[in-house]
């Protein structure tokens, strides 16, 4: 194993399951629309709003990496289509976004974060739009990189390169850990980082490429591995 100087963590489905958070956020948005612009809530229930965002993302590749921009554009479109005030898009987005950041951590996540942050600098690297300050864990991270801010999404090598520059590390000195074989493992490897797969679901490695030498079932195992390889925690 080459010497490690920093650890990069994916967020969604690595620290918390994302689907329940998105479902709750969509419900919160719907409640807000129902209370403030009921015609929009009636015309765009959550499945229709989800479909609209997908359609807008397809038509606007320049914001393919920015879920917040897609969500704001979708809301402006839905409001406009119902003759409502487009300025309502911002408070409506806030109703969604505040719920999206009320995540429920995997049981192992917070204890592992505390242990890991004591061992080496931590970075977050996410294609999503989680707000670590709102979630309350930003103090653990020396560096935060999102697709929204980098302008490209994983598995594009440029987002991994940007992360390493922010950390002041060579790519080979950074271990990136995430749940997604393509976005996290293949993306990190292609950019020259070390890569580990977080396999919470006991899945068979689907590729691309060979399964990495480092596979962890949860973040506690990752913290154990780091403690053994980087000194006692
Ligand atoms: Mg993930």
| pLDDT tens-place string over residues 164-208 | 999 999 999 999 999 999 999 999 999 999 999 999 999 999 999
Q: Dump pLDDT digits (tens) for 144-165.
A: 999 999 999 999 999 999 999 9
- Whether 138 and 15 have beta carbons less than 8 Å apart is answered as no
Output the CA 131–ligand 1 centroid distance in Å. Answer: 15
CA 181 / ligand 1 centre spacing (Å): 9
Average the pLDDT over 7-22 and give the result. Answer: 97
Token pair recorded at residue 15: 């620290």
Q: Give the distance (Å) from ligand 1 centre to CA of residue 106.
A: 13
Band of the pLDDT at 3, cuts 50, 70, 90?
confident
Q: Give 179 Cα–ligand 1 centroid separation in angstroms.
A: 5
CA of 178 from ligand 1 middle (Å) equals: 6
Q: Where are the domains of the chain?
A: 6-16+105-230, 19-100
Element (H, E) at 54: helix 46-59
Distance 86 CA to ligand 1 centre (A): 32
pTM above 0.85, yes or no: yes
Provide the pLDDT for residue 1: 61
Predicted pLDDT of residue 231: 61
Q: Which residues contact 226 (CB under 8 A, 6 or more apart)?
A: 4, 7, 115, 116, 119, 120, 233
Would you call 96 exposed, middle or buried from its count of C-beta atoms within 10 A (0-12, 13-18, 19+)?
buried
Query: How close is the Cα of 48 to the center of ligand 1, in Å?
Result: 25
For residue 219, give both structure tokens. 């973040």
Overall average pLDDT of the 16-30 stretch: 96
Whether the per-residue pLDDT at 141 is higher than 50: the answer is yes
Handedness of CA 62, 68, 70, 73 (dihedral sign): negative
User: For residue 208, is the peptide bond before it cis, meaning its omega torsion is within 30 degrees of 0?
Assistant: yes
Taking residues 3-31, report their average pLDDT.
Answer: 97
CATH number assigned to the domain covering 6-16+105-230: 3.40.50.1000
pLDDT at 232 over 50: no
pLDDT tens by residue, 81-117 = 999 999 999 999 999 999 999 999 999 999 999 999 9
Q: So what's the architecture of 19-100 in CATH?
A: Up-down Bundle (1.20)
Confidence bin at 233 (pLDDT 50/70/90)? very low
Gap between the Cα atoms of 216 and 196, Å rounded: 7
With CA atoms as reference, report the closest residue to 195 among 182, 185, 210.
185
């Amino acid at each position: 194993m080459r010497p490690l100087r920093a650890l990069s963590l994916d967020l969604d489905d690595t620290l918390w399951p994302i689907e329940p958070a998105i479902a709750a956020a969509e419900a919160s948005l719907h409640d807000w629309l129902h209370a403030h612009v009921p015609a929009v809530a009636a015309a765009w229930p959550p499945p229709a709003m989800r479909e609209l965002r997908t359609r807008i993302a397809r038509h606007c590749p320049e914001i393919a990496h920015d879920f917040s921009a897609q969500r704001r554009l979708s809301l402006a479109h839905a409001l406009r289509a119902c003759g409502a005030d487009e300025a309502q898009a911002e408070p409506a987005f806030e109703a969604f976004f505040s719920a999206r950041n009320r995540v429920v951590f995997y049981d192992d996540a917070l204890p592992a974060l505390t242990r890991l942050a004591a061992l080496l600098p931590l970075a977050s690297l996410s294609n999503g739009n989680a707000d670590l300050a709102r979630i309350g864990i930003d103090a653990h991270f020396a560096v935060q990189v999102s697709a929204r801010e980098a302008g490209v999404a994983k598995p594009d090598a440029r987002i991994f390169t940007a992360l390493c520059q922010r950390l002041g590390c060579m790519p080979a000195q950074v271990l990136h850990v995430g749940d997604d074989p393509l976005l996290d493992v293949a993306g990190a490897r292609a950019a020259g980082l070390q890569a580990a797969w977080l396999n919470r679901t006991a899945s068979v490695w689907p590729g691309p490429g060979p399964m990495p030498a480092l596979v962890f079932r949860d973040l506690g195992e990752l913290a154990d591995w780091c403690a053994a390889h980087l000194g006692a925690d």
